[in-house]
Amino acid sequence: RPADESPTREQLEAWDRELVWHAFTQMTEHQPFIIQRAEGCTLYDLEGRAYLDGVSSLWCNVHGHRHPTIDAAIRAQLDQVAHVTSLGMAHPTTIKLARRLVDLAPAGLGHVFFSDSGATAVEVALKMAFQFWQQCEQPQPKKTKYLAFENAYHGDTLGSVSVGGVPRFHEMFRPLLFEVLRLPSPTMYRLPTNVTRENACEYFLNLVAQVLEHQHAEIAAVIVEPLMQCAAGMILHPPGFLRGLRELTRQHDVLLIADEVAVGMGRTGRMFACQQEDVQPDLLCLAKGITGGYLPLAATLATDRIWQAFLGTYSSSRTFFHGHTYGGNPLGAAAALATLDVFEQEQTLANMPAKIARLQEYLARIALHPNVGDVRQLGLIAGIELVRDRVTQEPFPWGERRGQRVCNHALTRGVWLRPLGNVVVMMPPLNIKLEELDRICLAVEEGIEVAT
Ligand code: PLP
């Protein structure tokens, strides 16, 4: 094949099947779906067919695709420099991003460590929390454990998998992982007997309180996905749980790590999910939407108390010996600054209530379907759990792929979605238009009819 000849669609599909090992994909079943370009909330395949992006790529394109402001900021940065290491150097764009993040974040988070993905933002937080207790003013070297929740998802590196708790993703790697104290997922669906939606918050906080009372001396940090555990199937926490968790961790002097990789950057209707319950964590992890979904950049924000514990002479070994080659990459930082600019210019958050309300209307209707066990909404995030029997809450067998069937149908209606098992997920760009949201919701509604 001559080098200047573009591959045909058939060739691209064959190479995609044979050469590219796709993430979270059983390659024997992989159906190539090749996107050539995008505009706003619409993706276009090689034949020019259009698909509404109902999940913001992988929950990251908060302002859609090819946003002129973000595109221009990356181009302008390219004219300056593409990459400057954060080991011994700095770049104005990255410094400005740190300033903006600190100004926007919940109070007390005054320092930013840049990395390159959600998982690395979490690794940084875990290692910072551990090292903090080893060398803070009154060291507590026995504080070496983490408390995490069942069904948590914090990324795919071994540290983040250790604090993860989704059996299907994580169990296989158990022999490689460090031990973590784990409590039940603070859910509001499939509750234990004697627990109702009304007393669920108290029930789950009680479990936390018991562990912290007895083991706080050995726990470095609690890690939580604020308000909703997304990757496990959009598991919504009882209102007040995050606030209660903050109070308990403060009471027992245990650090709180808020992993806002999925729920941060406007998804819930506030810039950060912690702000919904007026919570100030000790460490805050951000990625995905931080660059508008354009480039790999992540941030771990830390309090001054944590920062102070790392200060000293070089020989004292108080340094945080951790870094990634592309941490704080200026191109990513330029995309992130532009993403924050767009939030202001387009009043993204102020425009969300109408969209959130419209999504709620559709979900209320969808909730009446006999095979819908639960609908869960947090801002512009929705999870619809399909069940065989809504009275007994009996799930559909995993292998029947009901969620995927709904998404397959949606695709025939020009809507791209990706399920989590039996949970149909919607997480559209925040700048989606109401009529586009209508199309996504109608495709889901129709898909549920066809797939159940
Ligand atoms: N934390 C949470 C809450 C996530 O939802 C994810 C990804 O979905 C991650 C961490 C990992 O992010 P990344 O895929 O960028 O490593």
In the chain the domains, ranked by start, together with CATH numbers, are 33-62+349-451 (3.90.1150.10), 72-345 (3.40.640.10)
Q: List 219's β-bridge partners, or say none.
A: 145
Task: Tell me which DSSP letter residue 415 carries.
Answer: E
Which pLDDT value is given to residue 316? 80
**How far, in Å, is the centroid of ligand 1 from the Cα of 89?**
28
Contacts of 401 by beta carbon, 8 Å cutoff, 6+ apart: none
Which pLDDT value is given to residue 100? 98
**How far, in Å, is the centroid of ligand 1 from the Cα of 231?**
8
The protein residue whose alpha carbon is closest to atom 10 in ligand 1 is 154
CB 243, CB 278: distance < 8 Å: yes
Task: Map residue 49 onto helix, strand or coil.
Answer: coil
**How far, in Å, is the centroid of ligand 1 from the Cα of 260?**
9
Q: Which atom of ligand 1 is nearest to the CA of 117?
A: 15
Write the pLDDT tens digit of every residue in 57-81: 999 999 999 999 999 999 999 999 9
**How far, in Å, is the centroid of ligand 1 from the Cα of 284?**
13
Task: Tell me which DSSP letter residue 40 carries.
Answer: B
Q: Which atom of ligand 1 is nearest to the CA of 157?
A: 16
- Give the span between the Cα atoms of 301 and 112, in whole angstroms: 4
Q: How many CB atoms lie within 10 A of CB 229?
A: 27
Tell me the one-letter amino acid at 31. Answer: Q
**How far, in Å, is the centroid of ligand 1 from the Cα of 324?**
17
Task: Map residue 385 onto helix, strand or coil.
Answer: strand
Task: Give residue ranges with CB within 6 A of ligand 1.
Answer: 117-119, 122, 153-155, 225, 230-231, 259, 261-262, 287
The protein residue whose alpha carbon is closest to atom 7 in ligand 1 is 155
Going through 198-260 in order, the beta strands assigned E by DSSP cover 219-224, 228-229, 235-236, 255-259
Which pLDDT value is given to residue 187? 98
Tell me the one-letter amino acid at 268. Answer: T
CB 225, CB 152: distance < 8 Å: yes
- Give the span between the Cα atoms of 17 and 93, in whole angstroms: 39
Which pLDDT value is given to residue 3? 62
- Give the span between the Cα atoms of 403 and 150, in whole angstroms: 22
Cα pseudo-dihedral 132, 138, 144, 150, rounded to 10:
-80
Which pLDDT value is given to residue 2? 62
Q: Which of 225, 227, 187 is nearest to 207 (CA)?
A: 187
Would you say 30 is a known binding-site residue?
no
Q: Which of 239, 190, 107, 110 is nearest to 390 (CA)?
A: 190
Would you say 22 is a known binding-site residue?
no
Q: Which two tokens stand for residue 441?
A: 């919701």
CB 286, CB 292: distance < 8 Å: no
Would you say 288 is a known binding-site residue?
yes
CA 355 to chain centre: 20
Cα–Cα distance list, 387 to 162, 373, 378, 397 (Å): 30, 5, 21, 9
**How far, in Å, is the centroid of ligand 1 from the Cα of 55?**
14
Q: List 145's β-bridge partners, or say none.
A: 219
Would you say 289 is a known binding-site residue?
no
Would you say 259 is a known binding-site residue?
yes
Would you say 447 is a known binding-site residue?
no
**How far, in Å, is the centroid of ligand 1 from the Cα of 271?**
17
Q: For residue 15, is it left (φ>0), alpha (ψ between -120 and 50) or beta?
A: alpha
Q: Which two tokens stand for residue 70?
A: 């973000």
Cα–Cα distance list, 385 to 262, 294, 413, 429 (Å): 19, 30, 21, 21
Ligand 1 pocket: which of 120, 261, 268 to mutate (most atoms <8 Å of CB)?
Answer: 261
Low-confidence ranges of the chain (pLDDT < 70): 1-4
CB 62, CB 56: distance < 8 Å: yes
**How far, in Å, is the centroid of ligand 1 from the Cα of 119?**
6
Q: List 387's β-bridge partners, or say none.
A: 395
The protein residue whose alpha carbon is closest to atom 5 in ligand 1 is 262
Q: Which atom of ligand 1 is nearest to the CA of 225?
A: 3
Would you say 374 is a known binding-site residue?
no
Which pLDDT value is given to residue 1? 59
**Angle in degrees, 0-180, between the axes of helices 68-78 and 330-345, rounded to the nearest 10:** 150
**How far, in Å, is the centroid of ligand 1 from the Cα of 317?**
30
Q: How many CB atoms lie within 10 A of CB 242?
A: 25
Q: Which of 405, 434, 399 is nearest to 417 (CA)?
A: 405
Ligand 1 pocket: which of 154, 161, 285, 294 to mutate (most atoms <8 Å of CB)?
Answer: 154
Would you say 325 is a known binding-site residue?
yes
Q: Which atom of ligand 1 is nearest to the CA of 59?
A: 8
Please give the order of strands across the beta sheet that includes 109-115. 109-115, 298-303, 283-286, 255-259, 219-224, 145-149, 181-183
The protein residue whose alpha carbon is closest to atom 12 in ligand 1 is 118
Would you say 405 is a known binding-site residue?
no
